[in-house]
Amino acid sequence: MGLARLLICISTAVRKQFNNSPFPNIVHAMHIAVCIKQVPDSAQIRVHPVTNTIMRQGVPAIVNPFDLFALEEALRTKDQSGAHITVLTMGPPQAEDALRKCLSYGADRAILITDKVFSGADTLATSYVLASALRTLDAQQPLDLIFTGKQTIDGDTAQVGPGIAIRLGYQLLTYVSAIRDLDADARQIFVERRAEGGVQVLQSTLPAVITMLEGANEMRFADMPGMFRAARQEVERWDREAAGIEDIKQVGLKGSPTAVAQVFGPKPRAVKAVRIEGETPAAQAEAFVERLFADFPQLEDALLEHLDQLADLGAKS
């Protein structure tokens, strides 16, 4: 890249940051918080043999992929109607990298909630800390929406989003696949929510906590100015006092009613694969279908019933 081009990029970055600066009393824009988590990238995790805790050292860390759908949805809202996006996480000091990544995509402000007393937290203790920090944030600049992923890929609990909503008394909208309409002035939001067997279209009010379903959108790429900005921008660090934590007994290990008693490797699938042979692909396919329904006769019934249902629905619509 030529020097002139680089200078333009930098000046754009500076301009962008200036325009996005939070002046809550001057600019009337929505304030959106996005709660993220830094998670280990792969399945190569080791477990401490004595404490039964996850050893994260040496495993590459990423932003929880489900949280990126939440961030992207917040960024789209910002693109459409303007918003100030604060991204926050509770985690160890190195979780700053994950927040910086979010800044590079276009978040305006990043807060790392970090304190030794937070370690060992289960979902109840985690939602207490995040809700306290969000309340503090709301006092600085009132919150309209809180986005988060439907769950994390390491804990897979899907419990922190609901926990935050209950603690703050915000409306809870989980497994949201689309935002149909958002009117910040009327304090109204219409969303599509994934339910069992269908999609609920819900009308609710702000402020609300939204957990985004995967695949709801496609994450953008960070542009050059965004990366420059992210590299230079401060990631704020809030300890328990800054986060407005009142009750120390509700955080970390002490505030966690659940505990891991044991960690063990999963059993491999009980069956070894049966190899299906055949002189020709047709013979091989025939042998497979024969064997499949001989081993699992209920599967044939289920399949026929399923096809009948599809035919019924097709006839009705």
**Residues 132 to 161: which contact another protein by CB under 8 A?**
153-161
d(CA 199, CA 208): 19
Member of 23, 268, 279, 294 binding another protein (CB under 8 A): 268
Q: Which of 128, 217, 129, 15 is nearest to 111 (CA)?
A: 129
Considering only residues 47-66, where is the footprint of another protein by CB under 8 A?
47, 52, 54, 65
Task: Look up residue 182 and give its two tokens.
Answer: 């958002």
Q: Cα–Cα distance between 185 and 40 in angstroms, integer? A: 40
294 binds another protein (CB under 8 A): no
Residue number, 5 or 306, with CB nearest to another protein: 306
Rounded (10°) CA dihedral 206, 69, 214, 61 = -130
Residues contacting another protein: total by CB under 8 A: 93
By CB under 8 A, tell whether 201 contacts another protein. Answer: yes
CA 309 to the chain's CA centroid: 35
- Our CB check for another protein shows the closer of 6 and 195 to be 195
- Beta strands per DSSP E along 42-158: 46-47, 54-55, 61-63, 83-90, 109-113, 145-149
Instruction: Collect all residues with Cβ–Cβ distance below 8 Å to 39 and sequence separation of at least 6.
Output: 61, 62, 63, 64, 152, 153, 154
Let me know: does 190 contact 45? Beta carbons within 8 Å. no
Q: For the segment 81-100, give every residue that binds another protein (CB under 8 A).
A: none
Nearest distance, CB of residue 201 and another protein, angstroms: 4
Distance CA(96)–CA(114), nearest Å, equals: 10
What would the x/- binding string for another protein be over residues 205 to 234, using CB under 8 A? x--------xx--x----------------
Q: What tokens does 213 get?
A: 């379903």
Name the one range near another protein by CB under 8 A: 12-20, 93-101, 171-179, 237-245: 171-179
Q: Which of 40, 149, 226, 252 binds another protein (CB under 8 A)?
A: 40
Task: Find the shortest distance in angstroms from Cβ 78 to another protein.
Answer: 22
Binding segment toward another protein, per CB under 8 A, in 28-36, 79-87, 201-209, 227-235: 201-209
186 binding another protein? (CB under 8 A): no
**Interface region with another protein, contact rule CB under 8 A, candidates 15-23, 78-86, 104-112, 187-195:** 187-195
Q: By CB under 8 A, which span of 2-10, 136-144, 194-202, 226-234 interacts with another protein?
A: 194-202
Q: Rule CB under 8 A: is residue 127 a binding residue for another protein? A: yes
Q: Is 214 exposed, middle or buried (0-12, 13-18, 19+ CB in 10 A)?
A: middle
> Of residues 199, 231, 232, 248, which one binds another protein by CB under 8 A?
199
What is d(CA 206, CA 164) in angstroms, rounded to the nearest whole number? 15
